Amino acid sequence: MAKLQDRFADIIPKMRTDQAAILKEKGDKVISEVTVKQAFGGMRGIKGMICDTSVVEPDKGLIIRGHPLLTIQDLWPEEIFYLLLTGDKPDKEATEALQLDLAARSHVPGYVWDVLEAMPDDSHPMAMLSAAIIVMEKESAFRAWYDEGMTKDKYWLPMLEDGLRLLGVLPVIAAGIYRLRYDKGDPIPYMTNLDWGANYARMLGLPDPTGEFAKLMRLYLNFHCDHEGGNVSANICHTTGSALSDVFYSVSAGLNGLAGPLHGLANQECLDWILQLMDTFGGVPTEEELRDFADETLDSGQVIPGYGHAVLRVTDPRFTGFVEFGREYLADDPVFQTVNTVFKVVPKALEAFSAKRVKAGKNPIANFWPNVDASSGSLLFHYGLTEFPYYTVLFSVSRAMGMIAQLIINRALGTPLTRPKWVSTKWVKANG
């Protein structure tokens, strides 16, 4: 099979003619309407943009290029990137070529380490990651080509080069941040003959005598790779890229959104909540103890991290996949057992709390089920990755694949600047 760059070049003409045909045939069709509630409510449910890398069905969860996530959970992250970008699962030859391309771009310039070392000791690892990516912006091939006067039809080419460059350095930077921020010693170099996920696991420097941690990391990088275009990080990344900002600016912007507690930071918050819970009850809590703890969290006005979702209305398949991994490899781990007890109790607690909210005239909670963040941290914790403020960095390395694939596709299609019309409250009062 062709290498990623060649395969993508092959499919561009068809992508462009397909889009032109759809626009000609259906350009004036209405696909969504907007209510006043949606305009005030974070545009929830409005179908207003196109994303072909993946879709999230409320009753099924993540579907990548037509494949439900759990049917492709054995793919390695670099294979997932190939799939996201082209729609094809790569064969061995194409995967190896991509691994070599990533390895060839894995050198992190010295000035990145200088910036990271100069940051305050108590910097959040996500702030460090975002800063490291933004200082690398000077490396952008897109910006260099653009400044030389490249034509629009070529935009995708340097975007793909920048995307590979960023994916090449990302695990090295991310692992380096872990080692620097938590005093684990010097960065560990990238190994050319190892796959991308196992490389990241190895560069963190945690003991992995059985190879299970590397296996978990591949799964982790697979599961977080994309969630269509409407989630906060992909949406910000897309909007930034639509101004023709390059991959470094766009991904860094997207990750700043991922760093929020209602989005990717929920995995750190979730483990924190679970450890507080275990601390309060001296180990795995009973269902009754947990119900009280959950009610206390909700009554104090806090969210239960890892539960609820803006789109999903069922248990997130990513949660299910991680629980299956846990059952196979660490069934007796108390943190993992607590995650399972939480799953038995929290949906009912949220349902009861939602009913109370409705009685008090507030919005119902739309989804009582766990999302990806409810289970992932317990697995990382088991393998010795106990510094949970770091967890969103792992999410970021994975999500960069989806963001980058979407950026490249949109430059190939010439997707225009994102600029929806906003209106004032006064306008809604007069016209709504």
Q: Mask of contacts with ligand MLT, 60-99, x by CB under 6 A?
A: ----------------------------------------
Contacts by residues 107-112 (CB-CB < 8 Å, ≥ 24 positions apart): 107/168, 107/169, 108/169, 108/172, 108/173, 108/176, 108/187, 109/136, 109/139, 111/135, 112/136, 112/169, 112/173
Q: Using DSSP, state whether 68 is helix, strand or coil.
A: strand
Nearer to ligand NMX, 107 or 362 (CB): 362
Q: Which of 309, 316, 333, 382 is catalytic?
A: 309
- Told to check if 352 binds ligand NMX by CB under 6 A, we report no
Buried b (16+ CB within 10 A) or exposed e, 119-142: beeeebbbebbbbbbbbbbebbbb
Minimum Å distance from CB 72 to ligand MLT? Answer: 16
* Residue 227 found at the interface with ligand MLT (CB under 6 A): yes
> What backbone torsions phi and psi does residue 62 show, to the nearest 5 degrees?
-70, 130
Task: Please indicate whether residue 67 is annotated as part of the active site.
Answer: no
Token pair recorded at residue 364: 């119902």
Question: CB within 8 A of 152, min separation 6: which ones?
Answer: 414
Q: Which amino acid is at 428?
A: V
Residue 363 as a binder of ligand NMX (CB under 6 A): the answer is yes
Minimum Å gap between C-beta 264 and ligand NMX is 5
Phi first, then psi: give them for residue 383, nearest 5 degrees. -90, 15
Residue 128 interaction partner, one of ligand NMX, ligand MLT, none, beta carbon < 5-8 Å per kind? none
Which parts of 133-192 interact with ligand NMX (CB under 6 A)? Answer: none
Look up 373 and say whether it is catalytic: yes
The CA dihedral of 212, 213, 215, 219, to the nearest 10 degrees, is: 140
Candidate list 95, 268, 371, 375; residue touching ligand MLT; CB under 6 A: 371
Q: Which of 112, 133, 310, 393 binds ligand NMX (CB under 6 A)?
A: 310
- CB under 6 A: which stretch of 144-152, 194-202, 245-253, 304-312 binds ligand NMX? 304-312
Inter-CA distances, 405 with 71, 89, 391, Å: 21, 14, 22
Least separation in angstroms between residue 325's CB and ligand MLT is: 18
The question of whether 107 is a catalytic residue gets the answer no
Using CB under 6 A as the binding rule, whether residue 309 contacts ligand NMX is answered as yes
Choose the one of ligand MLT, ligand NMX, none that binds residue 90, judging by a C-beta under 5 to 8 angstroms depending on kind: none
Half-sphere exposure of 96 (CA within 13 A, CB side): 5
Contact between 373 and ligand NMX by CB under 6 A: the answer reads: yes
- Find out whether 302 and 47 touch, Cβ atoms under 8 Å: no
Q: Does the footprint of ligand MLT cover residue 310 (CB under 6 A)?
A: yes
Question: Which residues contact ligand MLT by CB under 6 A?
Answer: 56, 227, 231, 263, 310-311, 371-372
Q: Please give the positions annotated as active site.
A: 263, 309, 373
